Structure 1
Amino acid sequence: MVLFWVGLLAALSQALGSLQYPEVPEEWVLLHVVQGHIGAGNYSYLRLNHEGRIILHMQSLKGDADIYISDKTLRPNFDTYKLQSTTCGQDVVVVPGDFVRPVGIGIYGHPSYIESEFEMKVFYDQTALTTNEIETDSYSSDETSGQSQHAQGPEEVMDEEESILWTILIGILKIILEILF
């Protein structure tokens, strides 16, 4: 029975490792890699000055860090934001080129963990037009309610499915670890 659980853990570990960072298109240019730690219930703030369409890929290496984005405040949080990603594991946010710069980025350490460790890769999408940028994803947002709505393209549906898969796999892994230890 123990061998079954060990085999299952090994398979889950391999599956989770392959989902860490998906391949990115050749048109995306890596601008920065930001690593950091954040305490439970705390925020760490970053400022995005780059123009154009920017993609933020953040992986929680330990704990659970979430991203809140705003072009109205440099200190966005879960009450004042335009875009957000609050998954357990990988968080991805696309900052449209028409957002007013500088853009505020808030990294939040989920209170379920004493400390969260994250790595965020910042990409510039050089396929987006810089003068009259045309967004294929239409979006509307309400800064006060903190709700972000946008049409989902095939890539976003895939990201959402990966997020659900991550949540399920991590839940199973937690149950297995509780049973074993």
Structure 2
Amino acid sequence: MLCVLLLLQCACAVWGDYLIQSIRGEVEAGNYTYYKLQWDGPVTVILETLRGDADLYVSETHLKPSFEPDQFDFSSATCGLDSVDIPRGCPRPLGVSVYGHPSATLSSYELRLVFRHPDYLDQFTLREHNDTEDELLRALRDRTGHSETHEEFRLLDLIWTFVEVFLEVLLL
């Protein structure tokens, strides 16, 4: 069990994903539950529907977004796991809503906010609206190339994480 926790913490340190907050809730069919996202930086909002069918809507301009097309900027409305990537340049606060789809009288869910390593989301950010597909693919290939300095920092992060976990285990 300790090895699994150690590997999980090391993986988070290397890839830079950190759970910031997790909230469980319920929403009735046709209703919304609203949240305000103020956390800066690149984050992913994850909505896991535990029962029923809940959908996720995020807006830069409306603190109470709905499923109406002019009321949200990001959305995910599937029958399973919903997620929305928010780049660091997106203004805060953001309005977040969980909508209870009418297909179920009551939907229960877990809403998670995950901090992403800045390079994770920024590699997908479009710079101009007239980018061609070839330019986007070339930019993506350029950004995924690793420099030696970047790799050295990742190795140092990994070693530091091992030291932290080792000290925590010794102190327990």
TM-score of Structure 1 vs Structure 2, range by shorter chain? 0.5 to 0.7
Rounded Cα–Cα distance in structure 1 between residues aligned with 2:94 and 2:65 = 9
112 and 51 in structure 1: CA distance in 2 versus 1, 3 angstrom threshold: same
What is the TM-score with the length of structure 2 in the denominator? 0.62
2:31 is aligned to 42
2:62 maps to which of 61, 65, 73:
73
Rounded Cα–Cα distance in structure 1 between residues aligned with 2:22 and 2:34 = 15
Tell me whether 1:95 sits opposite 2:86 in the alignment: yes
How many residue pairs get aligned? The number is 119
Superposition misfits of 4+ residues, deviation over 6 angstroms: none
Q: Deviations over 1:57-100 (max 9, x none)?
A: 21100001000000101001111100000000100110111111
Give the secondary-structure state (helix, strand or coil) at the position aligned to 1:75.
coil
Give the secondary-structure state (helix, strand or coil) at the position aligned to 2:61.
coil
What is the TM-score with the length of structure 1 in the denominator? 0.59
Q: Any gaps of 5 or more consecutive residues in structure 1?
A: 1-22, 142-150, 154-181
Rounded Cα–Cα distance in structure 2 between residues aligned with 1:134 and 1:91 = 20
Contact 1:96 1:135 in 2 (8 A): no
Rounded Cα–Cα distance in structure 2 between residues aligned with 1:104 and 1:87 = 20
Tell me whether 1:111 sits opposite 2:102 in the alignment: yes
Q: Deviations over 1:33-62 (max 9, x none)?
A: 111000000000001000011111211000
Q: Any gaps of 5 or more consecutive residues in structure 2?
A: 1-10, 130-135, 141-172
Output aligned runs, 1:52-63, within 5 Å: 52-63=41-52
Identity of aligned residues (%): 30
Note the aligned Cα RMSD (angstroms).
2.8
109 and 54 in structure 1: CA distance in 2 versus 1, 3 angstrom threshold: same
Q: Deviations over 1:117-144 (max 9, x none)?
A: 0012210113349xxx944243999xxx
Q: Deviations over 1:147-178 (max 9, x none)?
A: xxxx899xxxxxxxxxxxxxxxxxxxxxxxxx
Give the secondary-structure state (helix, strand or coil) at the position aligned to 1:59.
strand
Q: Which has the larger radius of gyration?
A: 2
58 and 140 in structure 1: CA distance in 2 versus 1, 3 angstrom threshold: farther
Greater helix share, structure number: 2
84 and 114 in structure 1: CA distance in 2 versus 1, 3 angstrom threshold: same
Give the secondary-structure state (helix, strand or coil) at the position aligned to 1:67.
strand
